[in-house]
Structures are given as C-alpha cells and as structure tokens.
Amino acid sequence: MATEDKNRATAAAILPLVGGAANVSSIAHCMTRLRLGLHDRSLVQDDALKAVPAVMGVVEDDTYQIVLGPGTVARVTPEFEKLVEEGRAQAPASPAPAPADAAPLTAEELAAQGAAMKAARKAKNATPFKLFLRKIANIFVPLIPALIGCGIIAGLNGLLVNLEWLPSVTPALAAMASGFMALIAVFVGYNTAKEFGGTPILGGAVAAIIVFPGVANIEAFGQKLSPGQGGVLGALGAAVLAVYVEKWCRRWVPEALDVLVTPTLTVLISGLVTIFGLMYVAGEVSTAIGDFADWLLSNGGAGAGLILGGFFLPLVMLGLHQALIPIHTTLIEQQGYTVLLPILAMAGAGQVGAAIATYFRLPRNESIRKTIKSALPAGFLGVGEPLIYGVSLPLGRPFITACVGGAFGGAFVGFFNQLGDAVGSTAIGPSGWALFPLLDGNHGLGATIAIYAGGLIVGYLAGFLATYFFGFSKELLAEFNVSQEEAPTAAPDPATPSETAKAPAAV
C-alpha cells in the first residue's frame, strides 16, 4: 500500500470511532499525538480506537489525544482534516453516529452526560496555571521541527569541521543551522500574539526589534544593548504586551482610524517598552537561567540528575513539564544546547526498563505482553505514552519503579556534568535513541555520546531491576499474572490518565 493510501486509511479508520466529522470541533497535532476537540466525548469508541494498528494509545486532557508517533502523526493529520472537511460538506447538519453497541439515549440523558464530563474535565485541567502553561506550550511546540532540523545540520557541520572535510560546504551548513536560531525571537513573537488573541504579524514585528542589529546603538540602564538581548523570553513578553496594547486600541480607536492608528500605536508603545525595559530585564533573566543550570549541574551533579530524572514522568502526567520548554529554548539560544534534556530523557529509559521487567514478571498475561512488545520500539525511540498509559500507570507500582530507573539514569549523566563533561541537546522534542543525532557537549562528540548512552543503559537496568524485584506485590501478581482464558477480565484495560490517577491498581 502506498504511503499516502496508508495514512488516509488510518485517518479513515479513526474518524468514525471519534464520532464522525460532525463531532470534531478542532484538529491539531504535536510531535506524537493527533489532538482533537470533540463536541461529545461519549461518542468515542475507545476500545475500537486502541485496536487501530497505527494507534499507540489515547490520552484525554483538554483535548482528546490519539498517540500515533513521530512522523506518522504529521502525515495522518492532513488526511484526517481532508476527511473531516469532506464529511461536513456531504452532511453538514447530520449528527455524529453513536457507537453501534451503545444503548439509545434520550436528549436529556445525553445532555446530562456531556455536562458531567465537561465539568469533570474542567475541574481537573482548566486551572489558570495549567491553561497558562498550555498557551506557552502552544507557542513553542510549532517551532520544534525547525529546531530539530537545524540542530541535526549543526551537528553534521560540527563533525565535518572537526574532520576538516568539505571546507567549501561547511559555511553553507553553518548558515542553514544558525539562520533559524538568529530569528527565533520573531517566530516566538508571532506565535505568542496568535495564542493570546492578537494580530500575529504585529507580535512578530515587535519581537523583531530584539534581533535587529541597530539596537546596538541604543543605550538602556546605562548599558549598550546587544542584538538578541533577552532572547525568546523578551520576545514572548514583548508580544504579550503588544496584544494588550492592540486590544486597548481596538476598544478606544474609532473604526475609521483603526487600520492606521492601531498597528502604529501597537508597534510604537510595545517597541519602546521592549527597547528601554524588556530587553534588559529579559536579558538578565535569561542569563540567570543559564547560570543557574550550569551551577545546578556543576554543584548538584548526581543529586540534581537524580531529582530531575526521577520526577520528570510525574511532571509529564501533571502537564507541568510544559514550563520547561522556554527554559530549554533559552539555553539552546545562549549555549547552543540544553543540558537539561538529556537528563530528563532518562525518565523514558526507566520506563523502558520497567516495561521489560513487567514482560518477564507477567508471563501468563498475553494481553499486557502483547502491548509491551508492540510499544517497546517506540519506547526506545523516546515515545513513552503507549508504555505509560498501557502498562506501567494502570498497574500502579511499576510506574513508581520506572521513575526510580529514570532517577538513576539522570544521576549518571548529572555526575559527569559535575565532573565537567556537559551533555546537551541542540533541539527539544526527541528523546531516547532519537536524541543521538542532536547531542552536543564541551568535550567532543564521542565523549558526549558515550555518557548519554551510559545513562540510557543505567536507566534501563535500574528500571528493570527496581520493577522486577519491587514492582509487584503478591496481590498484584495474583491479579494480573493469569491468562485470558483463565480469567478473561483480569487483564487491565489501558486507562486514561484521569482514570488511572483516580483508581490505580492495588500496590
């Protein structure tokens, strides 16, 4: 089957299982997940959706998220969008079909069910802090493909320069690798204004001031400014300010003058505040972030790595890991790489080790072993959702021992950072084995790769040993180490994060 046909077939299989085109209110995707806004969550057929070959798992948050994996999701999403548009054009007023085996519901019952689910989701996910973090993530996530591509080109260029190969080509590669990073503030400004409800191009225009070479002739707080000072944090702040100025202008400027006055005042007021305030303040904050990261790993070393690697999976479960995205980007902008990501990636290694141990501890549970075998390749490449939501989290205790594996792997990488061997990543997004092409450091690529690989091995082993010996109580083994023929209801149904958090298996 051709690739396009395969992607369209996957999209066609998913669409009726989420309630059809009429039930889809929004479509987006990140690195691994198709994110859908749905009018009625009760129309989704979870079990049938998880059985679709290309689907690695599902996650319910503020959107319904279908895990397809890197690469696949970027190809399936456009096909899914086409099918939704075609479905709406053919039957714009048709209600989304209900699952075939669902009992008929009255309008009152359906409304009550939808209201209850909406209230539950809002209570858990719509806190102001989480909504703010979600906005921040939406600003930076679209930039990840460019960060990855430019990061890999930068690594290739560094290798060629060290080997003194292709000297006529390396300057061109350097330009390709550095061009995006030189203007990243503009893209951040554009996305920020778009996310906060302003005119995107005005956000980009204000943020462009930060990287304009002419700011070197301007003095603020008794110091000459430098192009790029404040970086992505300054761009984010400048664009947010521009949005508020623009909204104020829209409210007070007469409509006849709006097209002339509003853009002018937005750029003028926001630009002046950016030049004579935000650039300096954001520059100080950015420098402090870089200095703190260096200090933390230089002095904390193994201890810092232990904490970062051990607690990253819970942060992901709570959605708080999104707060790290601007920090990663700031470090990449300042130092050329982020030293935090390789340590945090050890959480995935612990998860893989825990899954392998679970495979051996439950030899009679064909359902879980099948899930593990199908999800492990993605886990090695850093896509952990299928293992988390399909294996360790529903079981309860193995999720904790997976965190232990991540802690030991993080401690290993952190220890070498303390010795002076910085291990960093030139981009964010990939993890596991997929991070190897993006590695960089201060003591040569060979040493950097060796330390990162050593951390992965330690994470695998620690996660495996902790889970094998401490991940299963006698009660847990008695409940789950049975075949489907003996106890057809014993195998755990991979739970959603909210379900698992409320009722994990007994530990």
Q: Report how far residue 68's alpha carbon sits from residue 391's, in angstroms, rounded to the nearest whole number.
A: 17
Token readout for 137 is 């993530």
Q: Report how far residue 94's alpha carbon sits from residue 37's, in angstroms, rounded to the nearest whole number.
A: 18
Cβ(134)–Cβ(63) below 8 Å: no
Task: Determine the 3-state secondary structure of 40 from DSSP.
Answer: coil
Rounded to a whole number, what is the largest CA-CA distance in the chain? Answer: 78
Which residues on neighbouring strands pair with residue 59, listed in sequence order? 65
HEC letters along 442-491: CCCHHHHHHHHHHHHHHHHHHHHHHHHHHCCCHHHHHHHCCCCCCCCCCC
Cβ(249)–Cβ(264) below 8 Å: no
**30, 150, 249, 403: the active-site residue:** 30
For residue 207, what are the contacts with CB-CB under 8 A and spacing of at least 6? 185, 186, 188, 189, 190, 192, 234, 235, 238, 239
Q: How far is residue 476 CA from its own chain's centroid? A: 32
HEC letters along 48-115: HHHCCCCCCEEEECCCEEEECCCCHHHHHHHHHHHHHHHHHHHCCCCCCCCCCCCCCCCHHHHHHHHH
Which residues on neighbouring strands pair with residue 439, listed in sequence order? 425
Inter-CA distances, 171 with 12, 89, 164, 211, 251, Å: 45, 50, 12, 21, 50
Token readout for 448 is 């950097």
For residue 371, what are the contacts with CB-CB under 8 A and spacing of at least 6? 386, 390, 391, 494
Residue 30 a catalytic site member: yes
**C-alpha closest to that of 428 among 463, 382, 384, 459:** 382
Task: Determine the 3-state secondary structure of 24 from DSSP.
Answer: strand
Cβ(33)–Cβ(59) below 8 Å: yes
Token readout for 1 is 């089957």
Give, as one character, the DSSP assignment of residue 316: H
Q: Report how far residue 154's alpha carbon sits from residue 350's, in angstroms, rounded to the nearest whole number.
A: 29
Q: Which residues are catalytic?
A: 30
